[in-house]
Amino acid sequence: MDPISDNSNAELSKTPLHSLHLELGARMMAFAGYDMPIQYPLGVMKEHLHTRAGAGLFDVSHMGQILIRAKSGDQRDAALALEAITPVAVAGVGEGRQRYGLFTNEAGGLEDDFMVANRGDHLYLVVNAACKHEDLARIEAALSATCEIEAQFDRGLIALQGPAAESALSALAPQAAEMKFMDVRELTIDGARAIVSRSGYSGEDGYEISLDAMDTDRIARALLADDSVEAIGLGARDSLRLEAGLCLYGNDIDQTTTPVEANLKWAIQKARRTGGDREGGFPGADVILKQFETGPERLRVGLQPAGKAPVRAGAELFSAESGGSPVGTVTSGGFGPSAGGPVAMGYVPTALSDVGTTLFAEVRGKRLPITVAALPFVQPTYKR
């Protein structure tokens, strides 16, 4: 799937901010079954740079929000139940905190990635838009006997990202300034109740804000009234996350890539690894834990093309010794406005994954030099 569009002919769903996007002159496009803003009149390049310098407001209401409550009334029971379908140590997430999560299959591949928060009496998940119905079915199949599952697919979700995010949000909700990276709180924003996490998908400090659909437009407008805040589309969201070295499900990770191959070992805590308190017990554990010990045959790496021409997703990678046989593939690629040149990510054999290794990407019949680079391309500015 293209990182910012799809070709579905089905009737598109609309987020609570659809009218606002049209009012602001957004160029709309189908994405994950929704009519979404790809860019505004400011343009992708300026939107990207504004987010790095000020604050960008993103509509991510197409994502799936799911609540899980243990029927026993003990939130830890819900966390342990969820651990049956994820390698993440959900039971280790403290109240008011959240963690990056992964759904795996029996082959060790990734079915989706998500965020999970401990809200005290329940778990709060945000899953990818294109996978949310499958994720809901997966959770219901595994947890319904012991948990109550509530899909909140009609809620609004906006992301405020960038160095000015704290000042913009705290002007409406002063407690936002007290939050640290990965904190989750219920805040009142200009009279609206919201679930707010200090996190995002840009590599910048910022927040994700879950709201009732009826409040989303008003709160978005209140944030946009701040001179430091601009509306940002999915085009800049993609270039921002690529510079930050963050995976896009369906491109950089999918059902055929394991967490170890994807360089996401850090997302599987010691409690779930071999010798841990809750070792294994998740789909694909045998495959994944073996790769922890022996190493994978391939790895996701950063890639720095030579010159100014971007190398896009799908380009095949070759080594000097490989001749006519590709050794890897680019999974995401484009121009990095903050990095000042083209950036990419892809999979290469582990033996060719060292930073500085020179490979060649095939672009329009020509093989262009491309170098394995350290991730991220732009250092994050999270408030720890």
Alpha-helix runs per DSSP H in 213-345 = 213-224, 234-243, 285-294
Unique residue bearing structure tokens 């680079």: 373
pLDDT at residue 58 greater than cutoff 70: yes
Question: What is the per-residue pLDDT for 144?
Answer: 98
CATH topology of domain 62-151+258-294: Alpha-Beta Plaits (3.30.70)
CATH superfamily of 18-61+155-243: Probable tRNA modification gtpase trme; domain 1 (3.30.1360.120)
CATH topology of domain 297-384: Elongation Factor Tu (Ef-tu); domain 3 (2.40.30)
pLDDT tens by residue, 283-314 = 999 999 999 999 999 999 999 999 899 999 99
Q: Where are the domains of the chain?
A: 18-61+155-243, 62-151+258-294, 297-384
**pLDDT-based confidence at residue 9 (cuts at 50, 70, 90):** low
Question: What is the per-residue pLDDT for 60?
Answer: 98
pLDDT at residue 14 greater than cutoff 90: yes
Question: What is the per-residue pLDDT for 342?
Answer: 98
pLDDT at residue 198 greater than cutoff 70: yes
Question: What is the per-residue pLDDT for 321?
Answer: 79
Q: Which residue type is seen at 91?
A: A
SS percent in the chain: helix, strand, coil, step 5: 25, 30, 45
The span from the CA of 175 to the CA of 359, in Å, is 49
